[in-house]
Amino acid sequence: MSQYQAVYEAWKADPENFWKEAAKEIDWIKPADKIFDVVDGLDRWFVGGQCNTCYNCVDRHVEGGRADQPAVIYDSPITGKKASLTYKELLDEVATFAAVLADQGVGKGDRVICYMPMIVEATISMLACARIGAVHSVVFGGFAPKELATRIDDAKPNLIVTASCGIEPGRIVEYKPLLDEAIELSAHKPGGCILLQREQATASMIEGRDQDWSELVSAAKAAGKWAECVPVAATDPLYILYTSGTTGVPKGVVRDNGGHMVALKWTMWNMYGIEPGDVWWTASDVGWVVGHSYIVYAPLLHGCTTIVFEGKPVGTPDAGTFWRVISEHGVAALFTAPTAFRAIKKEDPQGQLIGNYDMSCFKTLFLAGERADPDTLQWAEEKLKVPVIDHWWQTETGWTIAGNPLGLGLLPVKHGSSTVPMPGYLMRILDDEGNEAKRGDIGAICVKLPLPPGCLPTLWQDDERFQESYMSAFPGHYETSDAGYMDEDGYIYIMARTDDIINVAGHRLSTGGMEEVLASHPDVAECAVLGIADNLKGQIPAGFIVLNSGVDRSPGDIEKECVSLVRAKIGPVAAFKTAVTVIRLPKTRSGKILRGTMRKIADGEAWSMPATIDDPAILDEITDAMKDRGIAN
Ligand code: COA
Ligand code: AMP
């Protein structure tokens, strides 16, 4: 019998007491005066509390008997390298690098941007910032210089930590030219950069600005430097993570220290059924929220061994890599995005490679980041013979909104549903008037305020955008921007985004941002970018462009330039490969582009002629253009 219902009801009856009890799992320098309070108009958890996230992730496990347990295992099939750090070794590296940061003048509240590939030093940098109360902002390596520049200008970092390169199958991605260009583009100039030279590429250094990671760390070790944990307020920011908003300007999601630790620690047993000491693997990237929460913070808070994997589910070297990592390191649970499993299933449809490995250690697969299609879910269940658990969350929340809580006892699985709300989340499915939708009816999925600990208290230095983006549509509620429904049993079904965000291989991208880039092409008069269904990546973007009158260049050349422009301005991660020239775009009489109808045509879904359409003939033209390019299903 699952304890879920009883635990959820206990939370509902007394939320503050629920989180007060959960907070006992964390070591506090000073306990909170108030579990919840509104401070300067913002909802805050553990007000008055003092703590240090790095202490809870590292030091306390060394003191508590886990000094010799592996904390981090680095497994990099793309470079052929493996390494392991015990908790004691991790502490030495983090405290040393924290001292290096402090020597560079980084202190409490200062920002540090980490532009790093999937190497252990990315984790060390994040924890080192946490140790001295600095606020890290990790930027995913697949973003282009302009995206990095936007983040530099918003976060205004004192320092940037980077590496000479990331490695993608078949190519080395040199980070330094990208970083130099970003700093060139940004109005804010960081005080300096620390760069880790990897053997695959040597970056040239700018005198007076760039310093070598290894030299600084060696010198600090030789001098016996060591930074102690700095007490911070529970409500102080631990990190800023930028995520796609409805325009090209990303939102700086802020995470605090206290609530974040309490919520993540609670999930490790109650949601994931993981014990301290277990080996936990999240196959994602530290540049995403899944990486922040479940590669770095949650497993370390819980005293687990976490795996830093630098590779892909397929091609590094084959579709059996995941099974090798699981069997070799004794992984109890894997957390990844469904797209990774779609990639594996495509390469090895019978799952034959699984049989090459002893997977007896493996207990559960968790999927999130995008809709888990029932086919992929069933394939994974059949082939792996373990529970496969879909759960739904967002960068903003930092942890599960709805899931099937393994530790509390699994509820019956319903394919297509991410199951039930976690304690902390009172879900409401609202119609356009803000009334609660009937069970089974689709509406805007909202959370009744306050949000639980761990969720964003605000956007970085932009309380106004925070209120306007999330709280204005349905007063008293946080709007998730996902549409869906709740069934009679209280199960949640996530159906689609209500804004212009698309989900490409588990990566959250703004079509509005891509449209801004296309519109900047001198020959483009107007454009629309849609997320079109894709068997591997879930969705892929496709751009439709209308050329300025009088342009007599080849549309094919302009389309190629548009594809290159998105790659250059947003980055390869946008996976923008298709631009189609059309004579005109379908619009309503008030001039709104009918993107929804265009997407339905592309996806082969049933659609009806919008009553407000300006000229119905345009939809035929668009359908023909899609068919010509093999887009329409
Ligand atoms: N640095 C630089 N470039 C990167 C990058 C990084 N860290 N990560 C991805 N890219 C590039 C890729 O090389 C690719 O470039 P290309 O257009 O030249 O081929 C492009 O960005 C798109 O990457 P991706 O969407 O990852 O596609 P892929 O074809 O390389 O791999 C999957 C497809 C499914 C194997 C891959 O997306 C994957 O492993 N996903 C796992 C799930 C995941 O990590 N989700 C994140 C949130 S949980
Ligand atoms: P991100 O902020 O990058 O984690 O993306 C969050 C968005 O991804 C959500 O708002 C959803 O649209 C989508 N998403 C995440 N997890 C799921 C899931 N389990 N099922 C359906 N959609 C999901």
Task: Render pLDDT for 412-423 as a digit per residue (tens, 0 to 9).
Answer: 999 999 999 999
In-domain check, residue 111: yes
* Cα distances (Å, whole numbers) of residue 519 to 147, 163, 545: 17, 33, 9
Whichever domain contains 128, its CATH number is 3.40.50.12780
In-domain check, residue 378: no
- Cα of 353 to ligand 1 centre, how many Å? 22
pTM exceeds 0.85: yes
Q: Looking at the structure, tell me whether residues 105 and 146 fall in a common domain.
A: yes
Task: Determine which residue's CA is closest to atom 15 belonging to ligand 2.
Answer: 369
| pLDDT score of 51 more than 70 | yes
In-domain check, residue 51: yes
Residue in 304, 319, 232, 310 with CA at minimum distance from that of residue 272: 304
In-domain check, residue 511: yes
**Position 443 confidence tier, pLDDT thresholds 50, 70, 90:** very high
In-domain check, residue 290: yes
Q: Looking at the structure, tell me whether residues 121 and 177 fall in a common domain.
A: yes
For the residues of 302-314, what is the DSSP string, one character each? TT-EEEEE-S-SS
Residues 6+ apart with CB under 8 A from 13: none
SS3 566: helix
Looking at residues 340-362, what average pLDDT do you find? 97
Provide the strand spans (E) within 449-506.
477-486, 492-497, 501-504
Q: Which ligand is nearest to the CA of 141?
A: 1
| pLDDT score of 248 more than 70 | no
Q: Looking at the structure, tell me whether residues 40 and 149 fall in a common domain.
A: yes
Q: Looking at the structure, tell me whether residues 480 and 541 fall in a common domain.
A: no
- 497 CA closest ligand 2 atom index: 12
Q: Looking at the structure, tell me whether residues 98 and 140 fall in a common domain.
A: yes
Domain end residue (candidates: 439, 454, 484):
484
In-domain check, residue 68: yes
Q: Looking at the structure, tell me whether residues 527 and 424 fall in a common domain.
A: no
In-domain check, residue 449: yes
> Domain count of the chain?
2
Domain end residue (candidates: 427, 449, 484):
484
Q: Which ligand is nearest to the CA of 289?
A: 2
Q: Looking at the structure, tell me whether residues 438 and 581 fall in a common domain.
A: no
List all residues whose CB is within 6 A of at least one atom of ligand 2: 243, 289, 368-372, 390-395, 418, 480, 482, 494, 497, 503, 508
What integer pLDDT is reported at residue 590 of this predicted model? 87
- Determine the structural domain holding residue 419 and report its residue range: 4-311+391-484
What integer pLDDT is reported at residue 633 of this predicted model? 62
Looking at residues 337-365, what average pLDDT do you find? 97
**Position 631 confidence tier, pLDDT thresholds 50, 70, 90:** confident
Q: Looking at the structure, tell me whether residues 469 and 512 fall in a common domain.
A: no
In this prediction, what percent of the chain has a pLDDT beyond 70? Answer: 99
Q: Looking at the structure, tell me whether residues 134 and 264 fall in a common domain.
A: yes
Whichever domain contains 608, its CATH number is 3.30.300.30
In-domain check, residue 347: no
Domain end residue (candidates: 453, 484, 515):
484
Mutate to test the pocket of ligand 2, among 138, 480, 482 (most ligand atoms within 8 A of CB): 482
Q: Looking at the structure, tell me whether residues 30 and 171 fall in a common domain.
A: yes
**The one-letter amino acid at 608:** S
Ligand 1 pocket member 311 (CB < 6 A) = no
| pLDDT score of 244 more than 90 | no
Q: Looking at the structure, tell me whether residues 521 and 475 fall in a common domain.
A: no
Task: Render pLDDT for 377-423 as a digit per residue (tens, 0 to 9).
Answer: 999 999 999 999 999 999 999 999 999 999 999 999 999 999 999 99
- 481 CA closest ligand 2 atom index: 10
Q: Looking at the structure, tell me whether residues 447 and 578 fall in a common domain.
A: no
SS3 464: helix
